[in-house]
Amino acid sequence: MAPGKTLLDKVWDPHSVRQLESGQTQLFIGLHLVHEVTSPQAFAMLRELDLPVRYPDRTFATVDHIIPTENQSRPLADSLAEEMLVALEKNTRDTGITLFDPASGKQGIVHVIGPEMGLTQPGMTIACGDSHTSTHGAFGAVALGIGTSQVRDVLATQCLAIGRPDVRRIEVTGKLAPGVYAKDVTLAIIRHLGVKGGVGYAYEYAGPVIDAMSIEERLTVCNMSIEGGARCGYINPDDTTIEYLRGREYAPQGEAWDRAVTHWRSVASDADAHYADKVVLDGGDLAPVVTWGINPGQSVGVDERLPRLADAGAEDRAQLAEAFDYMGLTSGEPIAGTEVDVCFVGSCTNGRISDLREAARVAQTGKVAQGVKAIVVPGSQAVARQAEEEGLPEVFRSAGFEWRLAGCSMCLAMNPDKLVGRQISASSSNRNFKGRQGSPTGRTLLMSPAMVVAAALKGKVTDVREVL
């Protein structure tokens, strides 16, 4: 008897238009999300070819990367940012695409607003000109980050030419200890499998730890699939997924809801599905994780020491030495106690309301250390409104944090929120590449939002379990 199917099989096959000679699939894309950075050239190419947008009703746009988080009044202070926003407004207006701009009250980071409005649904194929599109897999969607020329292809044809990945099932067993979060799980997976370990794979996350997670936590896990090299990552839809979607603006209603729920449940992987690979991690073993190097795989538990160069094999040694040299950290030293200059809570990894609630819970325990700049940036205007209703900005402000407007902020620093010089930041974002946060020599330590706040209060990397 043939083995059962994975979710990837069940979503991929019905969206497959045809097999291309290259071996790739021409894959129909159910939902296309667009932002201001990777779309202007794609729209320009469409204009040159005199092509319309094939399915404007399946395409939604927002502004996130370049939007300032202190003052969003128009025209934006940075003329280049203003130009990019004007171009997005014109392109979406001319093509009939819905744009969620700051005036809409629905603006935010593309991977925050899609889920919160119910645009992201199980069984969908989703594409966006942004690496962290894998985030949407949390709902049981096949969500693919694409480049600018592929944005053009999807705008023009609603299809992508793409190779089909194999599926690796990653089971996280046990139960997370207090102070250990979804961010720690995803960083631990990347540490275990490596930043290139997922090349050629879709990651299917499963097991008791994943099952127990809220949708927001699952979004955090799937967000970083790409940092482990995977083409995408997903979690099978279950009751948690369905309850999250109920009543959301773009979720089906009435009879359509019942039909959708039946379909959503049917796309989950079969119990006897075949996987190209299976990996098991014990979630009960995990401590809060902190990156120390220049890729998200270079991390340690907060209670561990940095790797010792002398113990590294010849292959790894050069990479480790480069990371130590850039970061100015010493091989074999504990990560706890590393002093930080800037603390950033936000991004599409950890800028949701549950992240901010947990960050506020830690912020209540003290004051930001002298000399540390600490900012909290909601992932969307809806997150900001919810946080305001719950009084979170006040909690942050009284602890010495700045409360900002929604945007990508310091994650990529294509806006005024940047590190300066050799500053070192504790960041709840997803990339710690050289220069990622706006200064060519700036340094990033990735960790959970609760750990970022603990670092802000103490002025150094601190085990949040000691603060709570």
Kindly tell me which of 320 and 410 has the beta carbon lying closer to ligand SF4.
Answer: 410
Kindly tell me which of 111 and 231 has the beta carbon lying closer to ligand SF4.
Answer: 111
- Which residue in the set 411, 426, 454, 455 belongs to the binding site for ligand SF4 (CB under 6 A)? 411
245 within 8 A of 118, measured Cβ to Cβ? yes
- Which residue in the set 190, 408, 451, 452 belongs to the binding site for ligand SF4 (CB under 6 A)? 408
Kindly tell me which of 281 and 445 has the beta carbon lying closer to ligand SF4.
Answer: 445
Output the DSSP codes for 32-98.
EEEETTTSHHHHHHHHHTT---S-GGGEEEE--SS--SS--PSSPSSHHHHHHHHHHHHHHHHHT-E
Rounded to whole angstroms, how far apart are CA atoms 438 and 420?
7
Shortest separation between residue 399's beta carbon and ligand SF4, angstroms = 23
Shortest separation between residue 315's beta carbon and ligand SF4, angstroms = 29
Shortest separation between residue 12's beta carbon and ligand SF4, angstroms = 25
Which one of the spans 136-144, 208-216, 319-327, 404-412 is the region binding ligand SF4 (CB under 6 A)? 404-412
**Distance between terminal CA atoms of the chain?**
53
Kindly tell me which of 337 and 433 has the beta carbon lying closer to ligand SF4.
Answer: 433
> Of 70, 96, 66, 98, whose CA–CA distance to 84 is shortest?
66
Rounded to whole angstroms, how far apart are CA atoms 381 and 386?
9
- Which residue in the set 146, 185, 343, 412 belongs to the binding site for ligand SF4 (CB under 6 A)? 412
In angstroms, how far apart are the furthest CA atoms of the chain? 66
Kindly tell me which of 10 and 35 has the beta carbon lying closer to ligand SF4.
Answer: 35
Binding mask of the shown chain, residues 102 to 141, with x at each position contacting ligand SF4 by CB under 6 A: -------xxx------------------x-x---------
CA distances from 415 to 63, 84, 196, 305, 382 (A): 12, 12, 29, 34, 21
- Which residue in the set 5, 10, 32, 65 belongs to the binding site for ligand SF4 (CB under 6 A)? 65
Kindly tell me which of 369 and 419 has the beta carbon lying closer to ligand SF4.
Answer: 419
Shortest separation between residue 309's beta carbon and ligand SF4, angstroms = 30
Name beta bridge partners: 27. 16, 160
Residues 255-284 that bind ligand SF4 (CB under 6 A): none
Kindly tell me which of 61 and 412 has the beta carbon lying closer to ligand SF4.
Answer: 412
Shortest separation between residue 408's beta carbon and ligand SF4, angstroms = 3
Q: Structure tokens of 293?
A: 């190097």
- Which residue in the set 88, 251, 320, 348 belongs to the binding site for ligand SF4 (CB under 6 A)? 348
Q: State how far Cα 371 lies from the chain centre.
A: 29
Rounded to whole angstroms, how far apart are CA atoms 119 and 126?
10
> Of 174, 111, 169, 166, whose CA–CA distance to 143 is shortest?
111
DSSP 388: H
Name beta bridge partners: 59. 32
State the number of binding residues for ligand SF4 (CB under 6 A).
14
Shortest separation between residue 433's beta carbon and ligand SF4, angstroms = 11
Decide: is 36 part of the binding site for ligand SF4 (CB under 6 A): no
Kindly tell me which of 145 and 307 has the beta carbon lying closer to ligand SF4.
Answer: 145
Rounded to whole angstroms, how far apart are CA atoms 373 and 370?
9
- Which residue in the set 430, 437, 444, 462 belongs to the binding site for ligand SF4 (CB under 6 A)? 430
> Of 273, 263, 299, 243, whose CA–CA distance to 171 is shortest?
273
Shortest separation between residue 224's beta carbon and ligand SF4, angstroms = 10
Q: Which positions touch ligand SF4 (CB under 6 A)?
A: 64-65, 109-111, 130, 132, 347-348, 408, 411-412, 429-430
